Structure 1
Amino acid sequence: MSKQTGWQAGLGGASRSSSWRSGLLTRSMAGTRFSAASGRLLFGARRVLIQLGLPNPQPLPPMTDFSKPFASGHHRSTSLALLLSLLLIALLLAFQAQRYRPSPALPADASPSVFSAQRAIDALAVVLGDESPHPTGSAANHAVRDRLVARLTSLGYAPEIQTGRSCDEWGDCAVVENIVARLDGREAGSAVALTAHYDSVGAGPGAADDGIGVATILEIARLLKAGQPQPLHSVLLLITEGEETGLLGARVFVDEHPWAKEVRAAVNLEARGNDGPSFMFETGRHNAWAMALYQGRVARPITNSIYYTAYQLLPNDTDFTVFKAAGWEGYNFALTGNVQHYHTPRDSLANLSRDSLQHHGDNAFSMLLALAEASLPADGTSGAAPAEDAVYVDLFAEHLLAWPAALALPIAAGSALLWVVLVGVQLRHRRLGLRELALATTGSILALLLAALACWILLLVLRSVSAIPPEAASYHWSAHPLPLDIASAALAALALSIVARLLKSRVGLTAWWSASGLLLTLATLASAMLLPGLGFAFQLPLIVLLLVGLLNRRGSDRALVLALVAAALAATSVFVPTIGFLHQSLGPDALCVATALLVWVYLPLLGLIGSAGVWLQRSLLAAALATTVVSAAIAALLPMYSEASPQRLNFEYLLDSDQGAAEWLARPDSGLLPSELASAAVFTPRPTPVFPWSHGQVWHADAPETRLPAPELHLLGSAADNGGLRYEVRLQSPRGASSISLCWPPGSTPTQLVLGGHRLPEPDARTLKALETRRAGWRCISDHALNPDGVSLAFTLPSSAPVEALLFDRSAGLPPAGLKLLMARPETAVRSQDGDVTRLIRRVRIGPP
């Protein structure tokens, strides 16, 4: 390349300079047009305010350029505002902690006209007897059923037992017995239901899940007979069996009981823990009607539409799932505290919170009475009102704010427009530059990413030192969640402090205010379009942020500070309690989501931190860093499990009847075997899965062969059926096991299954996909309440070629030789779900005779 002469270089430089000036002029003109348009919009907004009779904000006079460093006085005032906001946030959190505690339990001698948790506990103690586990179809569950019937009879009811067989979409089946009692209303043909289930899992007595629901129903049954006026609608007390097996009792009632056609709404009672407040976490499909009825009826409302939205996305179900599919409206209440005891022997009367039961009962009784006197909806409508959903949130467990979900998008769009107008005003008066706004927005996003990344690294480190359960564990809750909660909050504060400190001399208060509004606006728009139930978390802080900015008559820095403080307090009031429950409800995997959400809702604090004095910035940064390190160190030093929060560890005696080989299996939830078991057996990792679809680490040891008869499949007949072959067989467990299963390999999926005379619905595409993922294409059918005579099964296979299937039965407990294992299980480990079981397996050839 040839060198330029001096004049050529000068000309080139002049050309570039001219181009730069031209670009600057173009950007200036564009900014002027944008600002003029924003001014016209703001003028229109003021006209609307005048028409509405609201105060007319005065024109904004020129303000200080907040992109420039603050004077010392401004630093002092902003520092004071930041300290005040932190103090107010702390006070709000302390107040919320007190408000979100369950109601104090009332004693047994409380007024007969009110719900008493102690009376309910006394009734439940009689029903549970010796607190043995009582799974579906067991003798222990039959005894619980009989005691329930006796109790309802003594209260003046005529309970009925409804018997029927049902199956879920996974092929889990059982004969169940529901208990139904009725209190007739003044109006015939309409009813509301109060529901719970009385079966437990095989591992525990189910004092909370769902003994708390049973206790609540018994105490409310007494109240309904204790001077209450006759309700408008009949009240059904429905206590189902088989919820733990696949919501089977609820299915049987909805499909077969004649009273089910009268029911329009229900209050369902559940528990996923044995402590904490009673959450109303789910409603019917179109809940605007339900939430309008809910407002003002519950003394301590703890609910919001985030719970409802999140629950729809989780693979969890309760009996209310079946009722909602049948078109019922209503409410689903549950406890979530001490989830570590869920489905274990620790779910006992001794560990059940009386205060939680009181709150549960107060909620259920209030809403049952409200439904019993309400104009009940039919076909998703209430009178002439259209079917619609609501967005709702409780305020300090004192008041409920609710509005139609259809308003979410207009609110979001209006907020976005107002943000554009206000930012346009800042640009017009040159109190904000686009580059500065871009820096503030980038910094805000950086704070979000930094907090989430730091939290992820923290969990990675804690798992590497076995401080918290591995991600693969079914129940990976920490035994000591408090240090993790503190670390999460400290990481959020640390991320905000780092970003504010990095940009302190380049971004002013106005830019931070604008960036906070932008990200809250984007979150509000996204939630309004995708998940309206989440919107209030961002809508309410955003509205506060913008309204204070709109009413900023003098354009002072104090008004902007007030807007940022008010937005942070609004976020604390409506959203931070929900963030706090994420870790408790979903475990450590939700911790990083909670950390990022804390940063998001406290983005307004970036402006206060960035504009505060250097001493305060450094102090916050040091305090957040120290708190993070100390809380993380404490979490790392504490044991992964404790007696109060034990590891789930089940034992199994597995006998392969074909090969005559027996083994002990140990299934520690963490994948790590407690050292105490070394004295009972020599365990090594099992090299192959127990079943072709099995996942997770299983340990095995040699076990003595026990003379137990294998499960049997008797071919009763076969016939050609549309190109395939239809079989009739009988499944039986000669040793009297309570459960039997038959599994077909991939490529031989059966259709038209009929078990014990009950025809199974064909699985939909979603279920088939889930079966493919979880069971590697194997299809199983199980009877979990097996009759000693066995059960008949008919099915059609796609071809007449022989198929080798797996047949196995299961019974509770271990053979006598397993006593050493049970004695060696440490106090920091506990059985869960089905508990310790004995399983016999064999392969059966299914083909033409």
Structure 2
Amino acid sequence: MKIDRHRFSVFDLFLQIRQKISMQKNGSGENPTYLSNSLSRWILVLIFIGAGIALGLLANRLPDRVPDDAPATAFSAQRAMRDVHAIAARPHPTGSPEIEETRRYLMARMTALGLDPQMRTQDAVSARRYTKEIAPAGRMRNIVGVYRGTAPALPAILVMAHYDTAPLSPGAGDDTSGVAAALEIARALRAAGPLRRSVVFLFTDGEEAGLIGASAFFAADPLRHGIGLVLNLEARGDSGKALMFQTSTGNARLIDTYSRTIKSPAADSLMATIYKRMPNDTDLTVALDKGLAGMNFAFVGHQVAYHTALSTPDRLNVASLQHMGDQLLPLVRSFGEADSLDQQNDDSIFTDLFGLFLIVYPPWVGWLLAFIAAGATFSMTGIALVRRRIGWRNMLAGAGGLLAILLGIATLLMLAIRLAALIVRDVSSPYALIGQFDWLLPATLLLGLGTGALLLGTAVRGQPKPVALFLLVAGLAAALLGTFSAIPLALAIVAALLLWAAMGRPQPLAGWFAGAMTLIALLALVMQILLPNGAHMLVWPLLLLAAPLALLLFAPERAARPVGLAILTLPALLIAGLTARSGYDFFLMMGASLPAVATPFLLLTLLALAPLLWSLRRLQTVGMIICALGLGLFIAAAIFARTPTADNPDMVEAFYIADLDKGRGDWVSAKLDRAGWVHRALTQDGGTAKKGSIAPISKEDHWIAPAKTATFNRPQLLLTAGGAGNAYRLTLQAANRNGGRFMRLYLKPSVELRNIRIMDQVAPGTLKAGDWTPVTFHASGADTVRLTMDAAGKGRVEVQMIELVDQWPRGSKVIPLPPHSIAYRRSGNSLIMARTTLAW
């Protein structure tokens, strides 16, 4: 039987065998079953993709909620929800009157649980600096209680959550769910009796303001020296499984305990490794900076509720809270009885297998697997080259073609999201697209797989010109949509060049696949060097695809037999499941605004399916149709995002600025809404809204309308200087006079100011000459806040102070919100401004 090596695929061989059998039976040369078999191949591919999605869904299943009449020693989310309803009845940001009610509730609950709670009041500066701001500071009131163990001298377990919320959010998810879970853990521990180690429960203040409460605790609290392990509870949304997404370094013992203890794990060292390199922080960041061991847990589903008024107890997924407790309570008990909590030198490599159990191995095993996977790939392709079963040009085409597919998928996904963002550009809600997650996920899947199928068909057919032109047009369009971006255009140009160079003629499957696998092997080794705890993302698929590679290179005639087909299809099924599981987690965190994050996972799925897709009839046509469907879903999602709903409301903002020194007031908003509420709010005093600057409060232009002058008390602002020659000490004293939740001071010196202290607490950084630098102090009340700064030589400094009050001026109109609209950011605030200048 003659086989065309340039057009050969596994199923071509299988069909030729079937055809020969049919010819012997029918006595003719016709193949009446070819079309049906072509259809069956498409069905088989869809089955594999569907099975991968099913495995991904399996990994993200949530436990049944445990009822409130469950045994007292068990964690019950239904019981914890009582605390959620009590605490998250309304927003309670740091410095607000509402947070005082939360403190009283927590003190009473902890007392009833026998934790002997103490409230620690402390002026503190955050351990972290954000943007240009000198690290935020404030008067924090942490609440701490201890469930004493039988060996209290041993280092304790710290269970931590923050009880403050974002300004306009009830915070049922972030982080009332964490507080409620901690209280339910304390209740369950008390029901079971003491552990060896004490368990400290810390509810921090000022996390949303910049980790200020955690900074206060780990800097000066008397209990800090007795802590051996920190378990932090967080949320970024109000649904989804509770991910263990961050650990301290040297986590081998922590992961071993987690693996042995948790029945339904949700963790991946790739995610933990990437999170360390992201600009995100939680209270655990402060503990890790102090060298403590720790683990971080959060659920991140339905992010449209994150920091918004949608984060209510009724919307919180009780099963997500149950999953949080199902992990934390067993961990606290296990660590509470552990002989040692010391950190080790090594970080484990780990990932859960579809939520069923955790796969864990040490770094040396990771290196061994990487070398085995890459070595096997290099060896097989090298032998095949020597034996002339494949050509090196075909391998280069495979490597270049796979890279072209990667860049092509990224280009199309960037085009889609930038087009969607353009469609919703005039919508006031910044979460408009995030609320369309259920549309954007399948849209990304369709567009990514469709682009991959289109480009894979180009490798088979060897006609790159029209597809390369298509990518160039897509990249140019993506670059020009909205604000110009050169990134999608650059990706498209490189992808088009690779297509032109690598796919100029039809490619045989074996050589192309070998080249693609060689590229993955090289990338796996690079990833093993740069991100050793995340390299399993490439190493595992490489290992799974080793057998299909060997079959295609050395025994293609056996590929159509049952065992051969199993060798080809089972790895594809497993890889589709693994990539669906990992890709979903990353898409959940970033994909709604950056769908290209799914590109590597889509690429691995396509590579695993390549032997099944190769030379499939109408592959390019089907790819184009799927691309169109995916792009259409992106457009549909953006169109639906333009219409506010109860689950995806319009987010509106209007606030008042009272410039007392200039004797004027203004109504201000960052964006107008289509319902007209913002316009009515801004023009309520008869003014006309125009774009203008509110610097230094914000660098972006805002809509501003003149307002009636309001009666506010001028905040206290006193600036003095002492010294001579090259040594001057500046002292700034400021105080709120209108019950403000916080104050923000903007300083613009003519010379650099060093040695900044806020309420005698050292602040990092300096005040640069000629720049406005903000300094924020939260929960200041009416007490005087003092800053001291040193200057080398004479100079001058301008100061503008903002006192933020959570209400509009008296006499303002009550303007009801339109249906499906909620207040956001600074809406409902008054910013009271005072100025002073000093030369010395």
Q: From the superposition, tell whether residues 785 and 721 of structure 1 become closer, same or farther in structure 2 (CA, over 3 Å).
A: farther
Q: CA deviation at 1:433?
A: 1.2
1:291 to 235, 246, 255: 255
1:74 to 6, 14, 22: 14
Q: Give the whole-Å Cα distance in 2 for the aligned partners of 1:455 and 1:795.
A: 49
Which residue is 2:678 aligned to?
Answer: 677
2:828 to 814, 831, 836: 836
Q: From the superposition, tell whether residues 75 and 65 of structure 1 become closer, same or farther in structure 2 (CA, over 3 Å).
A: same
Which residue is 1:546 aligned to?
Answer: 546
8 A Cα contact 2:270 2:534, kept in partner: yes
Matched, 1:709 2:674: no
Which residue is 2:804 aligned to?
Answer: 810
Q: CA deviation at 1:422?
A: 0.4
1:202 to 155, 159, 167: 167
8 A Cα contact 1:492 1:596, kept in partner: no
Q: Is 684-693 or 119-128 further displaced after alignment?
A: 684-693
RMSD: 2.9
8 A Cα contact 2:652 2:678, kept in partner: no
Alignment of 1:28-107 (within 5 A): 66-69=5-8, 72-75=12-15, 83-107=43-67
1:396 to 338, 351, 354: 354
Q: From the superposition, tell whether residues 157 and 588 of structure 1 become closer, same or farther in structure 2 (CA, over 3 Å).
A: closer
Q: Give the whole-Å Cα distance in 2 for the aligned partners of 1:721 and 1:571.
A: 71
Alignment of 1:502-521 (within 5 A): 502-504=458-460, 506-521=506-521
Which residue is 1:259 aligned to?
Answer: 223
Q: CA deviation at 1:629?
A: 4.9
Q: CA deviation at 1:562?
A: 4.7
Which residue is 2:747 aligned to?
Answer: 744
Q: Deviations over 1:224-277 (max 9, x none)?
A: 11123x312111111111111121221121121222111111111001101111
8 A Cα contact 1:64 1:431, kept in partner: no
Which residue is 1:725 aligned to?
Answer: 728
Q: Deviations over 1:283-315 (max 9, x none)?
A: 112222211111131121111122212222222
Q: CA deviation at 1:651?
A: 1.8
- SS of the residue 2:653 aligns to: strand
Alignment of 1:652-801 (within 5 A): 652-668=655-671, 674-682=675-683, 687-692=691-696, 694-715=698-719, 718-720=721-723, 723-745=726-748, 747-756=750-759, 758-763=760-765, 777-801=771-795
Q: Give the whole-Å Cα distance in 1 for the aligned partners of 2:587 and 2:577.
A: 18
Which residue is 2:523 aligned to?
Answer: 523
8 A Cα contact 1:288 1:390, kept in partner: yes
Amino acid at match of 1:787: G
Which residue is 1:537 aligned to?
Answer: 537
8 A Cα contact 1:448 1:600, kept in partner: no
8 A Cα contact 2:654 2:826, kept in partner: no
Which residue is 1:338 aligned to?
Answer: 302
Q: Is 273-282 or 366-375 further displaced after alignment?
A: 366-375
Which residue is 1:15 aligned to?
Answer: none
Q: From the superposition, tell whether residues 618 and 692 of structure 1 become closer, same or farther in structure 2 (CA, over 3 Å).
A: closer
Which residue is 1:847 aligned to?
Answer: 839
Q: From the superposition, tell whether residues 695 and 586 of structure 1 become closer, same or farther in structure 2 (CA, over 3 Å).
A: farther
Q: From the superposition, tell whether residues 265 and 477 of structure 1 become closer, same or farther in structure 2 (CA, over 3 Å).
A: farther
8 A Cα contact 2:95 2:742, kept in partner: no
Which residue is 1:51 aligned to?
Answer: none
Matched, 1:152 2:84: no
Which residue is 1:489 aligned to?
Answer: 445
Which residue is 2:385 aligned to?
Answer: 427
- SS of the residue 1:533 aligns to: coil
Q: CA deviation at 1:460?
A: 2.8
Larger-Rg structure? 1
- SS of the residue 1:286 aligns to: coil
Amino acid at match of 2:162: H
8 A Cα contact 1:508 1:607, kept in partner: no
8 A Cα contact 2:714 2:834, kept in partner: yes
Q: Give the whole-Å Cα distance in 2 for the aligned partners of 1:161 and 1:267.
A: 20
Q: From the superposition, tell whether residues 121 and 495 of structure 1 become closer, same or farther in structure 2 (CA, over 3 Å).
A: same
Identity, % of aligned positions = 25
- SS of the residue 1:479 aligns to: helix
Alignment of 1:325-474 (within 5 A): 325-378=289-342, 380-381=343-344, 387-466=345-424
8 A Cα contact 1:685 1:698, kept in partner: no
Amino acid at match of 1:415: A
Q: CA deviation at 1:85?
A: 4.6
Matched, 1:500 2:456: yes
Q: CA deviation at 1:604?
A: 2.7
Which residue is 2:623 aligned to?
Answer: 621
Q: CA deviation at 1:191?
A: 0.7
1:216 to 181, 185, 206: 181
Q: Give the whole-Å Cα distance in 2 for the aligned partners of 1:722 and 1:186.
A: 62
Q: Deviations over 1:457-509 (max 9, x none)?
A: 22232233327979xx8646433223322221112222222223223252222
Q: From the superposition, tell whether residues 391 and 835 of structure 1 become closer, same or farther in structure 2 (CA, over 3 Å).
A: farther
Which residue is 1:604 aligned to?
Answer: 608
Q: Deviations over 1:18-49 (max 9, x none)?
A: xxxxxxxxxxxxxxxxxxxxxxxxxxxxxxxx
Q: CA deviation at 1:633?
A: 4.5
- SS of the residue 1:225 aligns to: helix
Q: Give the whole-Å Cα distance in 1 for the aligned partners of 2:593 and 2:773.
A: 31
Amino acid at match of 1:537: M
Aligned length: 760
Q: From the superposition, tell whether residues 747 and 309 of structure 1 become closer, same or farther in structure 2 (CA, over 3 Å).
A: farther
8 A Cα contact 1:465 1:636, kept in partner: yes
Q: From the superposition, tell whether residues 725 and 377 of structure 1 become closer, same or farther in structure 2 (CA, over 3 Å).
A: same
Q: Give the whole-Å Cα distance in 2 for the aligned partners of 1:63 and 1:400.
A: 48
Q: Give the whole-Å Cα distance in 1 for the aligned partners of 2:569 and 2:532.
A: 26
Q: From the superposition, tell whether residues 545 and 154 of structure 1 become closer, same or farther in structure 2 (CA, over 3 Å).
A: same
8 A Cα contact 2:157 2:197, kept in partner: yes
Q: From the superposition, tell whether residues 621 and 740 of structure 1 become closer, same or farther in structure 2 (CA, over 3 Å).
A: closer
Which residue is 2:646 aligned to?
Answer: 643
Which residue is 1:631 aligned to?
Answer: 633
Which residue is 2:503 aligned to?
Answer: none
Matched, 1:591 2:595: yes
Q: Deviations over 1:552-606 (max 9, x none)?
A: 9855334776555344323223232222233332253420231454124422322
Matched, 1:271 2:263: no
Amino acid at match of 2:166: V
What stretches of structure 2 of length at least 5 have no aligned partner?
19-36, 462-505
8 A Cα contact 2:170 2:311, kept in partner: yes
8 A Cα contact 2:726 2:793, kept in partner: yes
Which residue is 1:44 aligned to?
Answer: none
Q: Give the whole-Å Cα distance in 1 for the aligned partners of 2:835 and 2:289.
A: 38
Q: Give the whole-Å Cα distance in 2 for the aligned partners of 1:196 and 1:776.
A: 40
Q: Give the whole-Å Cα distance in 2 for the aligned partners of 1:590 and 1:372.
A: 41
- SS of the residue 1:841 aligns to: strand
Q: Give the whole-Å Cα distance in 1 for the aligned partners of 2:350 and 2:706.
A: 57
Q: From the superposition, tell whether residues 557 and 587 of structure 1 become closer, same or farther in structure 2 (CA, over 3 Å).
A: closer
Matched, 1:179 2:152: no
8 A Cα contact 1:203 1:832, kept in partner: yes
Q: Give the whole-Å Cα distance in 2 for the aligned partners of 1:159 and 1:570.
A: 50
- SS of the residue 1:565 aligns to: helix
Amino acid at match of 2:456: A
What stretches of structure 1 of length at least 5 have no aligned partner?
1-61, 382-386
